[in-house]
Every structure is written in structure tokens, then in C-alpha cells.
């Protein structure tokens, strides 16, 4: 098979460093050329995919919000998309109070009222380390991005059904913020999708299993 160009996007208020830490090794194992662009807003995420599109179709994807944006781009650009790597899709269609959207909204409110340190105080371990770095990297854009993400729309089921490309989807069976039912819904809708699962105990590197699912779908 030819070498694939893969562009993956971060989730809400996450960053390119996290994406690289999760996906660089599994993508190198399948010989893909991998890019994780530095993006902070929804429009920057879309622009990164537009700018990355080359003379041949590319594989796109990401984590949570990044998966939403990549799938939405693929819906609008079917001839430019060669595949999808989607980890932890958080909702389908409008956010409508989805757990991840509510979490983003609540985080924005805490940062606004009490500051960044207060918002980070309830996190521990690897998540605390990742959010501490990524959130500080957003600077003054953090609150507006969290609010923007909380009201953004993911592709609808009808739109997902049009994505006739090899697709790997990673869902977590015990993550209340990213319900496994959403990952299963996306996998059922996308014609050539392979779903793999993980648990919270295996985070964060288990998210890279979406690469193996995509490779199986090829």
C-alpha cells in the first residue's frame, strides 16, 4: 500500500503535544507520514486540514472535538479524504447537553470566575499534567475556545453514513465524558468503520489503538 499522509487534531483545549504523544508511535509502525498541527480554535482546526490537503487524498482525524472537526471536513471534502482515525467522538449532531459539552462549559465558567489554577485543582495524574500545559498554552483564548467547543455541532448520522473510507474508531467503555454509545453509533453509521475499545485505566496511550482499527479497515 502507498504511504499515507495523516493529519490529526486535538480535542477541546488540548494540544498538538498530546496528539503526538498518543499517535506518533502507532502511526510510525504502519509507515504513515504524520502531522499534528498547532491549532487553538475551531476555524484553525479546519484551516489546518485545508492547508494539509495535498495532491493526493489524506487521512484525517483526532480526539473528541478533533474527531468531530475531521469527520465534518471529510463530509464536505469526500474526494480529498482517504481515511479517518477517530478517537472518543463525544456527541452526534448538535451538542444538546452532551457530557463533554457540559464539561467544557463548566470549565469555562470556573476559569472565568476563579482562575485557571482553580479549574485545574480537581484533576490529577497525567490529566492534570496534560491540561496544565495545554490550557496555559491557550492563554487568553482558553475560555472562548471552551465556550465555542461546548456549542459546536458534530456530524449527523446521515452525514456519517456518507463517509465511505477506511475508518478506525476508538471508544472507551467507562468514560462518562465520551460515552461508548456514541463511538458505537458512529461505527454503525460509517460504512467501512472498525471499532476498538479501551478503558480509563489504559489512558492516554490506548487512544492510539484507533490507528490499528483504521489499518484493519483498509
Q: How many domains does the chain have?
A: 2
Burial class for 214, CB neighbours closer than 10 Å (0-12, 13-18, 19+):
buried
Asked whether residue 141 carries a pLDDT value surpassing 80, the answer given is yes
**What pLDDT sits at residue 3?**
83
Whole-angstrom distance, CA of residue 48 vs CA of residue 114: 33
In terms of domains, do 9 and 63 share one?
Answer: yes
Q: Where residue 1 falls among pLDDT bands split at 50, 70, 90? A: low
Exposure of 169 in the CB half-sphere (CA atoms within 13 A): 29
User: How confident is the model over 142-166, as pLDDT tens digits?
Assistant: 999 999 999 999 999 999 999 999 9
What percent of the chain clears pLDDT 70, i.e. is strictly above it?
Answer: 99
Q: What is the pLDDT of residues 67-96, one digit of tens each?
A: 999 999 999 999 999 999 999 999 999 999
Q: How confident is the model at residue 53 (pLDDT cuts 50, 70, 90)?
A: low
82 with 26, same domain: the answer is: yes
Residue 177: pLDDT band with limits 50, 70, 90: very high
Full-prediction pTM beyond 0.85?
Answer: yes
**Does one domain contain both 87 and 29?**
yes
Range of the domain at 47: 5-92+155-217
55: CATH:
3.40.50.1820
Residues 160 and 144 in one domain: no
- Output the average pLDDT for the chain: 96
| Mean pLDDT of all residues in 62-66 | 98
Q: Closest Cα partner for 70 from 145, 168, 151, 140?
A: 168
Amino acid at each position: 500500500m502507498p504511504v499515507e499522509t495523516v493529519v490529526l487534531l486535538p480535542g477541546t483545549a488540548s494540544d498538538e503535544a498530546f496528539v503526538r504523544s498518543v499517535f506518533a508511535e502507532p502511526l510510525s509502525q504502519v509507515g504513515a507520514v504524520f502531522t499534528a498541527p498547532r491549532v487553538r480554535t475551531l476555524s484553525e482546526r479546519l484551516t489546518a486540514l485545508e492547508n494539509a490537503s495535498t495532491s493526493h487524498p489524506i487521512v484525517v482525524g483526532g480526539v473528541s472535538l478533533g474527531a468531530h472537526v475531521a469527520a465534518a471536513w471529510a463530509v464536505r471534502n469526500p474526494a480529498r479524504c482517504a481515511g479517518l482515525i477517530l478517537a472518543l467522538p463525544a456527541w452526534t449532531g448538535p451538542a444538546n447537553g452532551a457530557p463533554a459539552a457540559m464539561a467544557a462549559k463548566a470549565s469555562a465558567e470556573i476559569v472565568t470566575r476563579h482562575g485557571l489554577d482553580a479549574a485545574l485543582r480537581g484533576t490529577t495524574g497525567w490529566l492534570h499534567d496534560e491540561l496544565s500545559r495545554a490550557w496555559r498554552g491557550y492563554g487568553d483564548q482558553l475560555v472562548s475556545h471552551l465556550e465555542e467547543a461546548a456549542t459546536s455541532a458534530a456530524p449527523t448520522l446521515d452525514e456519517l453514513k456518507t463517509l465511505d473510507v477506511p475508518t478506525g474508531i476508538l471508544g472507551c467503555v467507562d468514560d462518562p465524558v465520551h460515552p461508548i454509545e456514541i463511538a458505537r453509533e458512529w461505527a454503525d453509521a460509517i460504512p467501512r468503520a472498525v471499532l476498538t475499545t479501551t478503558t480509563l485505566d489504559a489512558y492516554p496511550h490506548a487512544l492510539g489503538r484507533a490507528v490499528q482499527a483504521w489499518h484493519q479497515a483498509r
